[in-house]
Structure 1
Amino acid sequence: MATLPRTPEQPLLPVSRADVRAAAERIRGSVVRTPTLHSKTLSALTGASVWIKFENLQFTAAYKERGALNTLLQLDPATAATGVIAASAGNHAQGLAYHGNRLGIPVTIVMPRLTPTVKVMQTEGHGATVILEGETYDAAYAHARTLEAERGLTFVHPFDDPRIIAGQGTVALEMLEDAPEIDTLVVPIGGGGLISGMATVARAASREIQVVGVQAELYPSMYNRLHGTSMACSGDTLAEGIAVKQPGTLTAQVVEALVDDVVLVGERRLEEAVSLLLQIEKTVAEGAGAAGLAALLAFRDRFRGRTVGIVICGGNIDTRLLANVLLRDLARSGRLARLRIRLQDRPGALFQVARIFDEQRVNILELSHQRIFTNLPAKGLSLDVECETRDRAHLDRLLAALRHEHYEVSMVELA
């Protein structure tokens, strides 16, 4: 495999631009050449000229197909006949299963026992054999490596493999062909396969292209490596696709050599980005897929005036979770609200409050009385009203009208 030359400025790296170009030829016609489109609305919102690569339009709704296919196509016939194995509960599993099935290569996927049933079914639906083992990814990974040795299978790592990195780098080749004016790539980082491949392409370009990685604040593994920090990696993040506690050895080497910086984004920004992509671009992104936009929203000054390429790297998000994200975004924008109003327990009290909502043209969605479990006097009650307004200003007028009528009212805020 070709590698970049070793120089004092450039260490020997596991993947070169030539490797990525070879991968592009290898997988051509077997993965979707997804569009790279300019977003006028997001550009106006962020102050950058925003180009979006829609990798959520792949057959399995994620870019992971690229690296998986590039790896499978380089197996010798005997290895391919025996089959491959991986540990994954996400997009890597589906990409490997889909293309393995298409090529006639047996695929075994080890998943933690607590993996949602829908993910197990989707992977099995692509023809893979799924084995549930362990309570965590680490336990599933260890079991997969044991089965690899016992059964003579070939392990396909989700990110720390030159063939995987080269395949993922084809995303950048296509982006820069379709939008050659891009001067900054903002790329989600989990284990680092995608950004390693994309940075390899960017650094080999004839002009300067900045490469900035994005991680969830709850899982700053590559950030720690690059910045010398030791923040904990744990918690429930919306960006589960990049919730990786330990980056790869190869990918960390590439990131340290080629990536300009890694930034962290919080859960609220990730939720906002998922919501905006659906509302503005009419496209579904999982949390990890929205991380690039989340970074633009969180660091507007840093990217203002630049021509930025972001990748919606996946669109596999649970529909109930997506609904929660959208509703929470409506609440934060003031279009949905839950108000807690103190009333006296007497006839007509609810009618009088409802009259004010009617006068302000606010739609009441749900009412909840609380007489017993409250710290109010026995003759008082707490009324929670879930309502729908046009915007924050409309909500503020409602609150002012209630207080003008001497009601004690507060908002139930989101975290």
Structure 2
Amino acid sequence: MTAAKVLEDTGAVLVHPYNDARIISGQGTISLEFLEQAPHLDAIVVPISGGLISGVAVAAKSINPSLRVLAAEPSGANDAALSKAAGKIITLPETKTVADGLRAHLGNLTWSIVRDFVDDVIVVDDKEIIEAVKLCYEILKVAVEPSGAIGLAAHHFQKCQAWKDCNRIGIILSGGNVDLGVLWHSFNR
């Protein structure tokens, strides 16, 4: 309601945070930079919620159609995995995960891209996500929010068919918006 009022009062234009072609295109530049630095990857693992995976998938597949684009999703917000399995958008009535940036649902633009360009969705639980955040801090010395560390969790903890024939895997780590109080509490659970 607030956004609608601002649009009406100011004549501004709403740019959806992920279900917008401009956002998706901007996110695709990640693939361009990634594949420029590591052109021989077999797969890229990306957190999935909306625009990031969509942009990465379209750009990566246009550069290398055989490159596998793998999505990583929390079990408490696994609408993309359910949607891929059902062949249509599934919207969850509720989400619950430490990866709060991945609680959004697929939109009409992002769904069609995920359906056609994402090879598989790997679901991980919060405990694995928290361990991946911990690995980022301890080994990489990098602050990565749970939503952004999920690709590492998927690769490190999930033994699944998604990795079949993939020897060179790139993992996108994104976002440093970490509520340390919540994170420390999660470590101790």
Q: Does TM, normalized by the shorter one, top 0.5?
A: yes
Deviation at 1:259, TM superposition (A): 1.0
**Is the aligned partner of 1:311 residue 2:177?**
no
Residues 335-386 of structure 1: per-residue CA shift (max 9 Å, x gap): xxxxxxxxxxxxxxxxxxxxxxxxxxxxxxxxxxxxxxxxxxxxxxxxxxxx
Q: Where do residues 242-281 of structure 1 align in structure 2 (5 Å cutoff)?
A: 242-244=102-104, 246-281=105-140
What CA distance in whole angstroms lies between the structure 2 residues aligned with 1:264 and 1:199?
A: 18
What CA distance in whole angstroms lies between the structure 2 residues aligned with 1:171 and 1:300?
A: 26
Residue 238 of structure 1 corresponds to: 98
Residues 121-152 of structure 1: per-residue CA shift (max 9 Å, x gap): xxxxxxxxxxxxxxxxxxxxx43134312331
What CA distance in whole angstroms lies between the structure 1 residues aligned with 2:113 and 2:53?
A: 9
Which one has a bigger Cα radius of gyration? 1
**Is the aligned partner of 1:296 residue 2:155?**
yes
Residues 242-280 of structure 1: per-residue CA shift (max 9 Å, x gap): 111x31111111111111111211111111110111111
Structure 2 letter corresponding to 1:168: Q
Residue 59 of structure 2 corresponds to: 201
Contact 1:220 1:233 in 2 (8 A): no
What CA distance in whole angstroms lies between the structure 1 residues aligned with 2:25 and 2:16?
A: 13
Higher relative contact order (CA 8 A, sep 6+): 2
What CA distance in whole angstroms lies between the structure 2 residues aligned with 1:317 and 1:296?
A: 21
**Is the aligned partner of 1:184 residue 2:43?**
yes
Alignment partner of 1:226 out of 84, 98, 123? 84
Residue 212 of structure 1 corresponds to: 70
Deviation at 1:203, TM superposition (A): 1.1
What CA distance in whole angstroms lies between the structure 1 residues aligned with 2:168 and 2:122?
A: 18
Residues 269, 167 of structure 1: CA spacing in aligned structure 2 closer, same or farther, 3 A cutoff?
same
What CA distance in whole angstroms lies between the structure 2 residues aligned with 1:207 and 1:321?
A: 40
What CA distance in whole angstroms lies between the structure 2 residues aligned with 1:264 and 1:301?
A: 10
Residues 209-235 of structure 1: per-residue CA shift (max 9 Å, x gap): 000111111112222221118584524
Contact 1:221 1:233 in 2 (8 A): no
What CA distance in whole angstroms lies between the structure 2 residues aligned with 1:206 and 1:312?
A: 21
What CA distance in whole angstroms lies between the structure 1 residues aligned with 2:79 and 2:17?
A: 16
Bigger strand share: 1
Q: Where do residues 308-387 of structure 1 align in structure 2 (5 Å cutoff)?
A: 308-326=169-187, 328=188
What CA distance in whole angstroms lies between the structure 1 residues aligned with 2:80 and 2:181?
A: 30
Residue 18 of structure 2 corresponds to: 159
TM-score, normalised via structure 2 length: 0.89
Structure 1: stretches of 5+ with no match in the other structure: 1-141, 329-413
Bigger helix share: 2
CA RMSD of aligned residues (A): 2.0
Residues 267, 247 of structure 1: CA spacing in aligned structure 2 closer, same or farther, 3 A cutoff?
same
Aligned length: 185
Contact 1:272 1:294 in 2 (8 A): yes
Residues 175, 253 of structure 1: CA spacing in aligned structure 2 closer, same or farther, 3 A cutoff?
same
What CA distance in whole angstroms lies between the structure 1 residues aligned with 2:152 and 2:47?
A: 10
Deviation at 1:291, TM superposition (A): 0.7
* Misfit runs of 4+, over 3 Å: 229-233
Sequence identity (%): 35
Deviation at 1:206, TM superposition (A): 4.1
> Secondary structure of the equivalent of 2:177?
coil
Residues 299-356 of structure 1: per-residue CA shift (max 9 Å, x gap): 2344275211111110110122233344x3xxxxxxxxxxxxxxxxxxxxxxxxxxxx
